[in-house]
């Protein structure tokens, strides 16, 4: 007995090789031979490999995962169907749509009782908006207010470590982002920018509390028994 796809003993007991392939078993007696064709196929499913693993992607992005099943000898099994599950977004036929918040999770492919997972890390997206607070702001003349700017991705996830360039149209701002209003009422903006991304807060500066009152006419001379119309005007400390 002889074979090219495994081993065969003197009694014709054939043991297949551990890799798939095609070959023969032959029995020879003298000058006469008989041949049987043999196809060695993959064994039952033993394990699954999911790729890519690990995977890194941005919030809301999509990434296609693949799963391949193997037998105990690492021979690929063709034609398997897989069910997909994830805790990092939504998945269908291996196509993962990441959740809209940063985090980590897994993508799992299952066939029968055999499962395998790939690790997924979801990252914050690029800056698409800057949120400036408070907005809007109404403040008295000469008053002060600290502003805060937060850079966010498309889904409103805050992005740490971002610096901003500030501009003010109706007052001044110090190194600590404290805004100091003008001493005259008006309307303007506080703007925080990073590259081409800009965030704006609307500022309304109003008069302060009453500081003094003027009466006109003053002085006045009036004849006894006559009438005079007086007008009173209230002003804040900056004469608004």
For 118, residues 6+ apart whose C-beta sits below 8 A from its C-beta are 50, 51, 52, 53, 54, 55, 65, 106, 107, 108
pLDDT digits (tens, 9 = 90+) for 147-176: 999 999 999 999 999 999 999 999 999 999
Note whether 118 and 64 are within 8 A (CB): no
Q: What percent of the chain has pLDDT over 90?
A: 100
Using CA atoms, how far residue 214 sits from 140, 217, 220, in Å, is 21, 9, 14
Instruction: Find out whether the peptide bond into 136 is cis, omega within 30 degrees of 0.
Output: yes
Report the pLDDT value the prediction gives residue 152, as an integer from 0 to 100. Answer: 97
The pLDDT tens digits of the residues spanning 33-55 come to: 999 999 999 999 999 999 999 99
Count how many residues are written for the chain. 240
Strand 212-216 to 231-235 pairing? antiparallel
| Structure confidence by residue, pLDDT tens digits, 83-122 | 999 999 999 999 999 999 999 999 999 999 999 999 999 9
pTM of the model: 0.77
- Degrees, nearest 5: CA angle 188-193-198: 70
CA 138 – CA 209 distance, rounded (Å): 14
Q: Are 187 and 153 in contact (CB under 8 A)?
A: no
Tell me: the pLDDT tens digits for 214-224? 999 999 999 99
Chain CA centroid to CA 132, Å: 20
């Amino acid at each position: 007995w002889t074979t090219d796809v495994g081993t065969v003993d003197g009694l014709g007991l054939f043991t297949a090789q551990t890799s798939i392939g095609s070959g023969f078993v032959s029995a020879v007696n003298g000058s006469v031979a008989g041949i049987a064709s043999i196809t060695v196929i993959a064994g039952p499913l033993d394990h699954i490999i999911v790729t890519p693993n690990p995977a890194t992607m941005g919030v809301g992005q999509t990434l296609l995962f693949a799963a391949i099943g193997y037998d105990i000898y690492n021979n690929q099994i063709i034609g398997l169907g897989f069910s997909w599950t994830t805790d990092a977004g939504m998945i269908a036929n291996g196509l993962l749509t990441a959740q809209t918040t940063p985090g980590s999770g897994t993508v799992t492919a299952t066939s029968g009782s055999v499962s395998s997972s790939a690790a997924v890390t979801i990252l914050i997206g690029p800056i698409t908006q800057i949120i400036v607070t408070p907005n809007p702001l109404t403040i008295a003349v000469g008053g002060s207010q600290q502003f805060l700017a937060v850079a966010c991705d498309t889904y409103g996830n805050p992005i740490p470590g971002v610096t901003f360039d500030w501009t003010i149209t109706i007052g001044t701002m110090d190194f600590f982002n404290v805004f100091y209003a003008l001493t005259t009422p008006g309307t303007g903006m506080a703007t925080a920018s990073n590259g081409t991304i800009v965030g704006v807060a609307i500022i309304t500066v109003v008069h302060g509390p009453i500081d003094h009152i003027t009466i006109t006419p003053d002085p006045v001379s009036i004849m006894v028994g006559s009438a005079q119309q007086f007008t009173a005007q209230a002003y804040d400390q900056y004469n608004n």
